[in-house]
Chains A and B, each alone.
Chain A
Amino acid sequence: MSLCTELVLDITYHQVKAPLFLVAQDLTLFCICVNVQSQPASLAAEDISTNSNGPKQDSLFDDDPEDLFAEATEEVSLDSPERDVLLSDGPSPAITPITPPTSVITPRIVSCVFIEEEEGGDSFDIHISVSDPEKVGEYMTSMSLFKRSEFAVKRRFSDFLGLHSKLASKYLHIGYIVPPAPEKSIVGMTKVKVGKEDQSSNEFVEKRRSALERYLMRTVKHPILLKDPDVLQFLESSELPRAVSTQALSSAGLLRMVNKAADAVNKMTIKMNESDAWFEEKQQHFENLDVQLRKLHTSVESLVCHRKELSVNTAQFAKSAAMLGNSEDHTALSRALSQLAEVEEKIDQLHQDQANADFYLFSELLGDYVRLLTAVKGVFDHRMKTWQKWQDSQMLLQKKREAEAKLQFTNKPDKLQQAKDEIKELEGKVQQGERDFEQISKTIRKEVSRFEKERVKDFKTIIIKYLESLVQTQQQLIKYWEAFLPEAKAIS
Chain B
Amino acid sequence: QRKESLRSVSVDLNHDASLLIDIPDALCERDKVKFTVHTKTTLSSFQKPDFSVPRQHEDFIWLHDTLVETEDYAGLIIPPAPPKPDFDSPREKMHKLGEGEATMTKEEYTKMKQELEAEYLAVFKKTVQVHEIFLQRLSSHPVLSKDRNFQIFLEYDQDLSVRRKNAKEMFGGFFKNMVKSADEVLISGVKEVDDFFEQEKTFLLDYYSKIKDSTAKAEKMTRAHKNIADDYIHISATLNSLAADDMTANKKNLEKLSDLFEKFRKVEGRVASDQDLKLTELLRYYMRDIQAAKDLLYRRARALADYENSNKALDKARLKSKDIPQAEEHQRQCLQKFDKLSESGKKELTSFKGRRVVAFRKNFIEMAELEIKHAKNSVTLLQGCIELLKSN
The interface centre, meaning the residue of B199, B210, B234, B253 with most chain A CB atoms within 10 A of its CB, is: B210
- B357/A491 in contact, CB under 8 A: yes
CB distance B386 to A468 under 8 Å?
yes
**Size of interface on B: residues with Cβ below 8 Å to A:** 54
- On whether the beta carbons of B379 and A478 are closer than 8 Å, the reply is yes
Query: Within 8 Å CB of B260, what residues of A?
Result: 467
Q: Is B143 in the interface zone, CB < 8 Å from A?
A: no
Specify which of B232, B245, B371 is in contact with A289 (CB 8 Å cutoff). B245
Contact of B364 among A314, A324, A482, A491 (CB under 8 A): A491
Given known A-B contacts A303-B228, A327-B203, A320 and B213 have beta carbons under 8 A apart: yes
Q: Which of A327-379 contact B (CB under 8 A)?
A: 327-330, 332-333, 336-337, 340
With A329-B203, A333-B360, A456-B248: A320-B214 Cβ-Cβ less than 8 Å = yes
Check A484 for interface membership: any CB of B closer than 8 A.
yes
Give the distance in Å from the alpha carbon of A336 to the alpha carbon of B362 in the complex.
Answer: 12
A299–B378 Cα distance when bound, in Å, is 20
CB distance from B365 to the nearest CB of A (A): 5
> Which residues of chain A are within 8 angstroms of B257 by Cβ–Cβ distance?
463
Question: CA–CA, A323 to B260, complex, Å?
Answer: 39
Q: Which residues of A contact B239 (CB under 8 A)?
A: 296
Contact in complex: B245, A292 (CB < 8 Å): yes
Enumerate B337-365 residues with CB–CB distance to A below 8 Å.
353, 356-357, 360-361, 364-365
Q: Which of A453-472 contact B (CB under 8 A)?
A: 456, 459-460, 463-464, 467-468, 470-471
Q: B34-42, B217-225, B326-334: which one contacts chain A? A: B217-225
Return the chain A residue nearest B234 by Cβ.
Answer: A299
Known contacts A292-B241, A296-B238, A317-B217, A478 near B376 by CB under 8 Å? yes
> Does B210 contact A306, Cβ atoms closer than 8 Å?
no
- Asked whether A467 lies within 8 Å of B386 as measured between CB atoms, the reply is yes
Please measure, in the bound complex, the distance between the C-alpha atom of A492 and the C-alpha atom of B221, giving whole angstroms. 28
Count of inter-chain pairs, beta carbons less than 8 A: 156
- The chain B residue with its CB closest to the CB of A311 is B224
Count of chain A residues with a beta carbon within 8 Å of a chain B beta carbon: 55
| Contact of A489 with B by CB under 8 A | yes
Please indicate the chain B residues that have their CB under 8 angstroms from the CB of A464 in the complex: 386, 389-390
Tell whether A174 is near chain B: CB-to-CB under 8 Å. Answer: no
Does A255 have its Cβ within 8 Å of any Cβ on chain B?
no
Q: What does the 1/0 interface line of A306-326 toward B look like (CB < 8 Å)?
A: 110110011011001101101
Interfacial chain A residues near B203, Cβ < 8 Å? 327, 329
- Which listed residue (A293, A316, A460, A477) contacts B389, Cβ 8 A? A460
Chain B, range 271-301, C-beta contacts under 8 Å to A? none
A contact residues around B207 at 8 Å (CB)? 324, 327-329
What 9 pairs between A and B have smallest CB-CB spacing? A310-B224, A488-B364, A317-B217, A299-B234, A491-B361, A303-B231, A306-B227, A313-B220, A477-B375
What residues make up the interface of B, taking CB atoms closer than 8 Å to A?
A: 199, 203, 206-207, 210-211, 213-214, 217-218, 220-221, 223-225, 227-228, 231-232, 234-235, 238-239, 241-242, 245, 248, 250, 253, 257, 260, 264, 353, 356-357, 360-361, 364-365, 368-369, 371-372, 375-376, 378-379, 382-383, 385-386, 389-390, 392
30 A–B pairs (Cβ distance < 8 Å), ordered by A: A288-B245, A289-B242, A296-B239, A299-B234, A299-B238, A300-B231, A300-B235, A303-B232, A307-B228, A309-B227, A313-B217, A317-B221, A320-B214, A323-B214, A324-B207, A324-B213, A327-B203, A329-B203, A329-B353, A333-B360, A452-B248, A463-B389, A464-B386, A467-B382, A474-B378, A477-B371, A477-B372, A485-B368, A485-B372, A489-B365
Q: Which residues of A contact B (CB under 8 A)?
A: 285, 288-289, 292-293, 295-296, 299-300, 302-303, 306-307, 309-310, 313-314, 316-317, 320-321, 323-324, 326-330, 332-333, 336-337, 340, 452, 456, 459-460, 463-464, 467-468, 470-471, 474-475, 477-478, 481-482, 484-485, 488-489, 491-492
Given A306-B228, A320-B218: 16 more A-B contacts, CB < 8 Å:
A303-B228, A310-B228, A320-B210, A320-B214, A324-B211, A327-B207, A330-B356, A330-B357, A452-B248, A467-B389, A471-B382, A471-B386, A475-B375, A478-B376, A488-B365, A491-B357
